Chain A
Amino acid sequence: MAYVNIRERQVPFAVRYISDLLAYRHLAWNLVGSDLRARFRRSYLGVLWAVIQPLAFSLTIALVWGSLFQAQSYWSFAIYVFSGMIVWEYFASVVSVSQDALINAEGYLKQTRVPFFIFQMRTPLTSMVIFLLGAVGLAILMLSLQSLPSWGEHLLLIPLFPVILVFFGIPVATIMSIAGTQFRDIKYISQILIQALFFVSPVMLGREVLDRPELNFLSFVNPLIPLINMFRDPVVNGQLWDKTEVLTLSFWLAGLWVVSIAMAVRAGRKLIFAL
């Protein structure tokens, strides 16, 4: 029942995970670098697109929405959309790209005994860098509009957010990669779900809409609501995180990690036959 390379120490799962993570950290970062290079290679503006894309999108939306409904002032709405957009983009790309994470890594996985999770971390880490670039764009937009966040302890929460984002992204990517490898239908289903989710996430939707009592249940069902709000609160709104949202997201994180670890352990290396 067992493959044992005695050069590899016999250790518990968690220890093994950490030591593999350390052993292959170079690979993980280089895959991220390769993804980023591949993404922007052969384009004139290169990495600037990570800033331009959400900027152009949010300005367009703000222009259309702002003139249609005239509900909010044009520029502050642009900031609102931009800040929601980069978090949303992170989630959407993790879900859609990670389905193929193992399938695309076939070359590596069938050549040497590399742990699968290095490839499952690939998209969450790459998207993280894109998110940070987007955040730089947001900072520039806010600076140029002179609507900087107010001074206060909530600013301390800002550096925590990327960490949360990665801890959210990795289990999502793991689940999607395993499901995507076993069931190729996932691609179509997730496309539909992502589109649907977009309309109940506070990217373009004002917070006051989702806070209506009849829609309040959504903030427990859709983890993107607390996630996006927890980015906006300190950065845009200049306030601390909402306690209920922190709690909701914590439950989601715990659940996602439990499910993803269970799926990874259950599938094991047998997934290789499905590639």
Chain B
Amino acid sequence: MARGSEIKSGLRIVENDDAQADSTSTALSRDLTKLGIEVTNARLTYPIGAYTRGSLKSAVLSLFGHRDKTPKAGFVEAIRGLNIRIAAGERVALIGHNGSGKSTLLRALAGIYPLASGEMKVVGRIGTLLDIGLGFESESTGRENIYYRGMTMGYSRKQLRVAEREIIEFADLGEFIDLPMRTYSSGMYVRLGFAVSTHFSPDILLVDEVFGAGDASFSRRALERMLNIVDNAGIFVLATHETSLVERVCQRVIWLDRGMIVRDGPPSLVLPEYYRYMAAETPLP
């Protein structure tokens, strides 16, 4: 509880000098009390009736009071009543089966998916690496895409021009940087995406299972940079199946199943139990 109020008192300060905070984000991220994620009773549902099966016919008919004969499929509950608090400097891994809600939770934290109910407070500049293939114009060159991706994060052409050289250096794509992105391999997508997403040292880095695609030397550099971000009192949340990575990088593991938390604790406690469950398919603890 104490931490929650701490975050809250930090919030007001952030709001007051918002303009200043924008220009000096690193100064802000050094102040531990201001950063944080607070999720309270979050529920997130995917509508599957109205959208996937929705048709104009049913919409028009319903205008005239016609009721669909097939019952509405309704919603899939992807996140059910989550309560999570993450403080500055924490490196958190989300683990669990496919469909357990890891990626959905990351997207909700990034403000991409709206919650059905509950509340989510996220303080800090967010950097995302959610889906490697997404957010690139495949007909445009890698260099152009640095600008597009950077601009979706709200940076100006001027800021990006300054950053361009360093981003290209980090991505290390050679002459490919001036070729259309449709010629890239999936590893190259990851490199460029990672280089742009992390260049501006976000306060909160949300990553969804992407390290497999890069080669060994890039993975090492990527990890280095991530740890660097976290060392600067940032927050790092990683959704992954790679438990070896979790052991190396994270000091906290949240095990999700069907949108609920099974275990939340240090890897040394959670992972053994997780392995046992995965191996034996024993009922959830």
Contact = CB atoms under 8 A, between A and B. Distances in A.
A113 B110 contact: yes
B262 interface: no
Contact of B152 (A10, A37, A106, A112): A112
Interface string B137-149: 1011000100110
Interface string B103-128: 00001101111110111111111101
A190 to B, nearest CB: 11
Given A7-B14, A9-B15, A185-B56, A273 B47 contact: yes
Interface in B52-102: 52, 54-57, 59
A107 B136 contact: yes
Contacts of B157: 26, 30
Nearest to B115: A3
A30 B155 CA distance: 12
B163 interface: no
Interface string A5-28: 111011000000000000110110
Contact of B123 (A7, A41, A109): A7
Given A1-B115, A3-B115, A27 B56 contact: no
A4 B15 CA distance: 12
Interface in A127-183: 182-183
B151 A111 contact: no
A112 B55 contact: no
A42 to B, nearest CB: 9
Given A7-B18, A41-B139, A270-B47, A1 B152 contact: no
Interface residues of B, number: 53
A269 B139 CA distance: 27
Interface string A30-67: 11001001100100000000000000000000000000
B148 A30 contact: yes
A114 B152 contact: yes
Contacts of B113: 269, 272-273
Given A9-B18, A113-B126, A274-B51, A186 B144 contact: no
A34 B137 contact: yes
Given A4-B121, A26-B157, A108 B152 contact: yes
B151 A3 contact: no
A268 interface: yes
Interface residues of A, number: 39
A113 B111 contact: yes
B55 A183 contact: yes
A7 B21 contact: yes
B115 A26 contact: no
Nearest to A37: B140
Nearest to B12: A6
B142 to A, nearest CB: 13
A34 B140 contact: yes
Given A7-B18, A38-B139, A2 B115 contact: yes
Nearest to B78: A273
Contact of A111 (B52, B59, B152, B154): B152
Interface of B: 11, 14-15, 18, 21, 46-47, 50-52, 54-57, 59, 107-108, 110-115, 117-126, 128, 130-131, 133-137, 139-140, 144, 147-148, 151-157
19 contacts: A2-B119, A2-B120, A4-B121, A5-B121, A6-B14, A23-B154, A34-B148, A37-B140, A41-B139, A107-B133, A108-B134, A108-B135, A108-B152, A110-B134, A112-B112, A112-B126, A185-B56, A272-B112, A274-B51
Given A7-B14, A107-B131, A274-B47, 15 more contacts: A3-B111, A6-B11, A9-B15, A9-B18, A27-B151, A34-B148, A111-B112, A111-B128, A111-B130, A112-B126, A268-B114, A270-B114, A272-B114, A273-B46, A274-B52
> Across chains A and B, which 6 residue pairs bring their CB atoms closest together, nearest first?
A27-B151, A107-B134, A113-B111, A111-B135, A274-B51, A269-B114
